[in-house]
Amino acid sequence: METKAAVATKAGAPLTIETVQLDGPRAFEVLVEIKASGVCHTDMFTLSGDDPEGIFPAILGHEGAGVVVEVGAGVTTLKPGDHVIPLYTPECRNCVFCLSRKTNLCGAIRETQGKGLMPDGTSRFKLNGKDVFHYMGTSTFSNYTVVPEIALAKIREDAPFEKVCYIGCGVTTGVGAVIYTAKVQPGDKVIVFGLGGIGLNVVQGARLAGADMIIGVDINPAREELARKFGMTHFVNPKEVEGDIVPYLVSLTKGGADHTFECIGNVNLMRQALESCHKGWGKSTVIGVAGAGQEISTRPFQLVTGRVWQGSAFGGARGRTDVPKIVDWYMEGKINIDDLITHVMPVEKINEAFDLMHAGTSIRSVVTF
C-alpha cells in the first residue's frame, strides 16, 4: 500500500512529506493506522545527527496512537479495529528480561530495532524503490506503520488519540519513573530538575504518589506557573541562587530530598541531583539522556554515605501491562495531559513542531493525520 509519511532523509535537514510504499504485516506483525503522534525531544536529537544510533533515511516518531488495520499470521492478542499505542520498549513476556520481573527492558527485538529494521531484519518502508529505516520500532510519523505485536499496547476505545499518544513516551516516562522506578512514598520530599515534557510529568507523578514537598528546578521562569498547576510546591531558578545550588536545596529540604529526578540530560545537573539527596537514603533517578560520550562523576563518598544513583527508561513501565492503566488514569482525571499539549497541527506542518521545541515555546506538539 501507499502511505503519507514525514521522512527524515538526512541528519540536520527538515522532514519532507512523502508518499511511501509500505509492505503489509508479516508473521507476528500488525498494520496500524496512526491517528496522532507527539513530537519528542528524542526525535529532535536523532534528526540533529547527534544520536550515534541515528540512521537515515528513516521515518521517525515514537509517541503515537492509532487503530489496528490488519494483523499478520500468528497474531493472537490484537484484531482489526483495536485501539493501540506503539511501544518503543516492547513487552514480550517471554525473554530473560521480561521473565526476571526486575526490569522493563525487554530484549526480544532489541537488536533489529536498534538497526531500524523489523524483527526479521528487513524494512517495510520504501521510497523511490529504496528502503527507508524504521525508528524505535514505531515510526509514528507515518499515517500507516507496521509494528511487532509485542510492541503494541491495547487501549480503551473512548480515549482521544491526540491526547493519549503522549502516553507513548513523555507521560509514561515521567509518571512511571516516580511510581514504578523510584516508588516515591506519601510524605516524601522530591526535587525535579528540568520542567519540560518529562519533568512536568514527574511533578504530577510525585503528586499522585502523595509527595509533600515537590521542588522544581528550571532556568526558564515561564515553567513555574504550569508546574505549580501540576503539583510543584516550590520553584528554584538556578540563575537566581547565589553560589552552589546543592547546599541551597539541601537547606530547603532540611537535609536533602528523599528523591530527585534529572529530566534534562545534563551530566552536571545529574551530579547536583545526586548530591541534593538526603544522606543515608536519598535516591536520585536519571531520566535525561546525555549527549554521546558524556560521563557522570561524583565523590564516591556520596554513595558510601547512602545516596543511591539509578536510571529509568520509559518510566520503568511494562508497556502492554502498564500503558492501558495510565490511559485509564487520564480518562479518570487522575493525571492531566490536556494542559501539556500546547500545539496540535496536521503532519504537513511537522517542521513547525521542531521549531517550537527548539525555541522552548511548546511543551508538547502533536501532529495529526
Known catalytic residue: 110?
yes
Q: Which of 17, 44, 95, 127 binds Zn ion (CB under 5 A)?
A: 95
User: Stretches 38-46, 105-113, 286-294, 330-338: which one binds Zn ion (CB under 5 A)?
Assistant: 105-113
**Backbone dihedral angles phi then psi of residue 25, each to the nearest 5 degrees:** -70, 135
Compute the Cα dihedral for 172, 140, 93, 76 and give only its sign.
positive
Annotation marks residue 98 as catalytic: yes
Return the residue of 69, 241, 252, 289 that touches ligand NAD, per CB under 6 A: 289
- Would you call 92 a catalytic residue per the annotation? yes
The item of Zn ion, ligand NAD, ligand DAO, none sharing an interface with residue 110, based on CB under 5 to 8 Å by kind, is ligand DAO
Residue 238 interface partner, choices ligand NAD, ligand DAO, Zn ion, none, CB cut-off 5-8 Å depending on type: ligand NAD
Judged by beta carbon distances under 5 to 8 A according to partner kind, the member of Zn ion, ligand DAO, ligand NAD, none in contact with residue 194 is ligand NAD
Residue ranges of the alpha helices (H) in the chain? 41-48, 96-100, 110-114, 161-164, 170-176, 199-209, 223-229, 245-252, 267-275, 301-304, 319-331, 350-359
Answer yes or no whether residue 184 interacts with Zn ion by CB under 5 A: no
> Least distance from C-beta 196 to ligand DAO, angstroms?
13
Q: Does 171 bind Zn ion (CB under 5 A)?
A: no
Contacts of 271 (CB under 8 A, 6+ apart): 296, 297, 298
Radius of gyration of the chain (CA): 20
Number of H helices, E strands in the chain: 12, 17
In whole angstroms, how far apart are CA 321 and each of 87, 93, 213, 336, 354? 11, 10, 30, 21, 31
Write down how long the chain is.
369
The residue with cell 492509532 is: 66
Return the residue of 36, 164, 167, 169 that touches ligand NAD, per CB under 6 A: 169
Active site (catalytic) residues: 40-42, 62-63, 92, 95, 98, 106, 110, 169, 364
Binding site for ligand NAD (CB under 6 A): 40-42, 45, 169, 173, 194-199, 217-220, 223, 238, 263-266, 269, 287-289, 312-314
